[in-house]
Amino acid sequence: MVVSLKEKLYQMFILGTGEYAHTALQNGLGGIIFFTKDIQSIEQFESLITSVKKDSIIPPFLAIDQEGGRVERTENIHHGKKYLSAKFAYEKGEDFLTNQTKEIAKELKSYGINLNFAPCVDTNTNPKNPIIGERAFSSNPDDVIKGEKIVSKIYKDFGIIPCVKHFPGHGDANADSHLTLPKISLSLEEMEKTHIKPFKEAIKGGIEMVMVAHLHCSCFEKDEIPTSLSKNAIDYLRNKLHFDGVVISDDMVMKGVSNFGEVEACLMGIRAGINLFIYRFADKNTIDIIENVHKIALDDVQLQDLIEKSYEKIINLKKKYLYK
């Protein structure tokens, strides 16, 4: 099958559901991310997943943020039963964390989900952190590493791709990147000791997807550029941590990244080394962003090369998990 440049570019996007999702899937969209609003009942959700698969020309990532606690997307189905967040599950002991993760993995697998944006491997060092808190296993990086090993292995055993987030570590932030661009002023040495350490261990353990945060880390960039658009940060991930898998952005509609201009942010991300982007909307605006990037890529050999490389990484990961 000959895959066009446009289809390869569309593979680099995971969108939410919406009126343009169908069109995007037929153009080669990489996948769909499901939120609570998309999951009203088991039958309805299974039928939604079936239609997404039917519309796809390349097997799609069927993705979700199912961490437990306050980030749980299947609550309409559960009718009040909640999974514990990473912190509380970890505090109950390794057996509890293992059993709960198996329960989550089994549930997701039964719907057909093949990618979970979990576990969070942020080390939550800032008690005033408005966005991480109990989503982190611990404020101690060694405990975070233990939690990650358990959770990632279980997802892989169930044929679900785990994705560690939010590189290089959102744990010291004092602001929410959904609303603004948080600034982290720690030295690289401090970042490595506490925040980057769990990512380094996850990569050594064979993790295949890393999500990059919309944070301004002064150890990577003097200017206010988020790590998600920072070539320095992603080069560090590739060259210093030897990560060879898929680098994915956090949601590109978050305020932490949206000040750069929509098409410009996307181009900066590709040039920095992002392979896969999340946009929570499948609206005309999002499709326009992708189409505009495609137009620019037609006359830009370097951009074409980056799209090609990302496409290869995405397809290799899909072959391992989805082509079965």
CB atoms within 10 A of CB 218: 15
Phi, psi at 216, each rounded to 5° = -95, 110
Question: Which amino acid, 165?
Answer: K
Q: Could you give the count of Cα atoms lying within 13 Å of 324 in the half-sphere of its Cβ?
A: 10
In the annotation, is 178 catalytic?
yes
41 burial (CB, 10 Å; 0-12 / 13-18 / 19+) is exposed
| Under 8 Å between Cβ of 34 and 66 | no
323 burial (CB, 10 Å; 0-12 / 13-18 / 19+) is exposed
Say which residues have a Cβ less than 8 Å from residue 58's Cβ, sequence separation at least 6.
3, 7, 11, 28, 30, 315, 318
Please give the structure tokens belonging to residue 285: 């605006």
182 burial (CB, 10 Å; 0-12 / 13-18 / 19+) is buried
Candidates 170, 250, 251, 294; catalytic one: 250
Separation between Cα atoms, residue 171 and residue 133, nearest integer Å: 8
Candidates 178, 288, 294, 300; catalytic one: 178
In the annotation, is 283 catalytic?
no
Q: Any idea which residues carry the catalytic annotation? A: 178, 250
